[in-house]
């Protein structure tokens, strides 16, 4: 009897499962009953609840309204897309477009994607009579071409960012600093004024600790390839007096008491909070997403300012910066590339580009759009860029040496070791 009961129960459960699962399938079928002329599948790098996703969702709805024959199926992957996209593409899953970090998508998935040069030269409803290429920052287009193996355009950028020094304008005003520092000496002078005014001048988190040393080395040596040589070849490369000078510059920051005492201990976002709560004046280096990340603490009226990393004494000092963007890529197997590009254009120019910028306090892609007030001072930095410095300035080129440099630099910046000790610590462990 009991066995029978269990059996019946099992069958009921199975039935329920079957009914429910067929319900799910039924919905999809109902949608395809209308047989729209064009169906696009978009794999997104955002989670559905993120502000970016919410704007994109609205924008896509708007696109579908304007083009009634188009249906866009969105899959919100979140950053897991870095791992899931390629297996899916290799397995032949129909994915017409996807997005992720611009550098990543071009370098990793160029062979899966469509070359977009022809599409860039056309006009779209959201570009207000201009060619699409006229709406994209030239530095980003050049960057895209350099990333690809054949100099082509393999992505549509959006949400550009640049790495800059962030500061609290109120603190600068109170300390009597009238113009942002452009050279290292001016930077030290500004720190001195801040300190005299009772502020802790600088802080940073472990997550961004590699940026100051990477950028400083680039200012000094000129090209990212020379910084890469430090970690790749090692040894005597570190004996270069210019490298010692770089270390000495940071040693001075520590010895003069300009660094936050908890800088070595800062686990992201502890350092960001130091700046957002007004305890520290300068966040050494961060991406233009910083105001958005600390918005809940700092508030909308926090007076953010930015300046490019200063020129260093005795350095080559090129106008190179670390910058990037997110980007859409269109599959080379996409059967409706025109519609897919039109959608990408719809999302990255005009109304929706602005909306995204406003909702995330981030930079707009369209050159004709204003930048949010929190990062307005980053716009000229972006416009002056002559070249690209990879994240960490090239120090991450050797994953074995990079963590050693980073750990030693943290100690240097917090005043635990001297410049000479920094060099020897890196050399010994390399």
Tokens of 195: 């300190």
92 binds other proteins (CB under 8 A): no
For other proteins, the binding residues in 95-114 under the rule CB under 8 A are 101, 103-104, 107-108
Q: Which stretch binds other proteins (CB under 8 A): 172-180, 266-274, 303-311, 363-371?
A: 266-274
Give min distance, CB of 202 to other proteins, in A.
Answer: 16
Rg (CA), the chain: 25
Q: What CA–CA distance (Å, rounded) separates 135 from 120? A: 10
Give min distance, CB of 401 to other proteins, in A.
Answer: 8
Q: Which is nearer to other proteins, 53 or 207 (CB)?
A: 207
Q: What CA–CA distance (Å, rounded) separates 367 from 381? A: 14
233 binds other proteins (CB under 8 A): no
Among residues 417, 393, 383, which one has the least CA distance to residue 312?
393
Please check whether residue 246 is in contact with residue 317, taking contact to mean a CB–CB distance below 8 angstroms: no
Q: Which is nearer to other proteins, 111 or 178 (CB)?
A: 111
Residue 262 burial by Cβ neighbours in a 10 Å radius (0-12, 13-18, 19+): middle
Give min distance, CB of 120 to other proteins, in A.
Answer: 23
Torsion of CA 271, 272, 273, 276, to 10 degrees: 130
- From residue 359, give the alpha-carbon distance in Å to each of 81, 270, 291: 23, 24, 12
For other proteins, the binding residues in 380-419 under the rule CB under 8 A are 390-391, 396-397, 399-404, 406-407, 410-411, 414
Tokens of 375: 């990062």
289 binds other proteins (CB under 8 A): no
Contact pick of 55, 264, 330, 419 for other proteins (by CB under 8 A): 264
For other proteins, the binding residues in 13-52 under the rule CB under 8 A are none
197 binds other proteins (CB under 8 A): no
DSSP per residue, 270-293 = HHHHHHHTTSEEEEEEEETTHHHH
82 binds other proteins (CB under 8 A): yes
Task: Please provide residue 388's backbone torsions phi and psi, each rounded to the nearest 5 degrees.
Answer: -110, 130
Give min distance, CB of 100 to other proteins, in A.
Answer: 9
Give min distance, CB of 250 to other proteins, in A.
Answer: 15
Residues in contact with other proteins by CB under 8 A are 82-83, 86-87, 90-91, 101, 103-104, 107-108, 206-207, 210, 262, 264-268, 270, 324, 390-391, 396-397, 399-404, 406-407, 410-411, 414, 429-430
């Amino acid at each position: 009897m009991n066995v029978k009961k269990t059996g019946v129960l099992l069958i009921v459960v199975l039935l329920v499962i079957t009914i429910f699962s067929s319900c799910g399938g039924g919905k999809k079928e109902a949608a395809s009953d209308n047989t729209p002329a064009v169906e696009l599948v978009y794999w997104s790098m955002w989670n559905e609840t993120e502000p970016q996703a919410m704007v994109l969702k609205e924008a896509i709805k708007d696109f579908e309204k304007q083009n009634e024959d188009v249906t866009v199926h969105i899959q919100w992957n979140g950053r897991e897309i870095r791992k899931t996209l390629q297996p899916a593409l290799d397995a032949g899953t129909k994915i017409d477009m996807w997005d992720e970090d611009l550098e990543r998508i071009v370098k990793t998935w160029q062979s899966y994607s469509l070359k977009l040069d022809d599409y860039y030269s056309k006009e779209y409803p959201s570009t207000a009579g201009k060619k699409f290429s006229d709406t994209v920052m030239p530095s980003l287009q050049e960057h895209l071409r350099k990333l690809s193996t054949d100099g082509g355009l393999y992505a549509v950028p959006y949400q550009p960012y640049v790495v800059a020094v962030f500061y609290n304008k109120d603190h600068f005003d109170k300390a009597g600093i009238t113009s942002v520092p452009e050279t290292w000496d001016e930077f030290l002078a500004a720190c001195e004024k801040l300190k005299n005014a009772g502020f802790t001048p600088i802080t940073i988190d472990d997550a961004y600790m590699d940026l100051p040393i990477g950028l400083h080395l680039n200012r000094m040596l000129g090209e990212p390839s020379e910084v890469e040589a430090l970690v790749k070849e090692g040894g005597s490369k570190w004996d270069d007096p210019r490298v010692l000078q770089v270390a000495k510059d940071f040693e001075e920051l520590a010895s003069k008491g300009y660094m936050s005492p908890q800088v070595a201990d800062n686990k992201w976002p502890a350092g960001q909070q130091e700046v957002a709560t007004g305890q520290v004046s300068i966040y050494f280096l961060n991406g233009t997403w910083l105001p958005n990340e600390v918005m809940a603490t700092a508030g909308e009226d926090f007076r953010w300012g930015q300046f490019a990393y200063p020129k260093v004494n005795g350095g080559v000092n090129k106008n190179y910066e670390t910058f990037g963007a997110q980007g859409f890529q269109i599959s080379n197997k996409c059967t409706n590339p025109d519609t897919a590009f039109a959608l990408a254009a719809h999302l990255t120019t005009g109304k929706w580009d602005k909306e995204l910028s406003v909702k995330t306090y981030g930079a707009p892609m369209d050159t004709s759009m204003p930048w949010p007030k929190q990062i307005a001072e980053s716009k000229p930095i972006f416009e002056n860029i002559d070249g690209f410095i990879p994240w960490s300035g090239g120090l991450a080129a050797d994953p074995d040496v990079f963590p050693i440099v980073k750990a030693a630099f943290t100690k240097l910046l917090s005043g635990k070791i001297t410049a000479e000790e920094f060099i020897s610590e890196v050399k010994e462990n390399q």
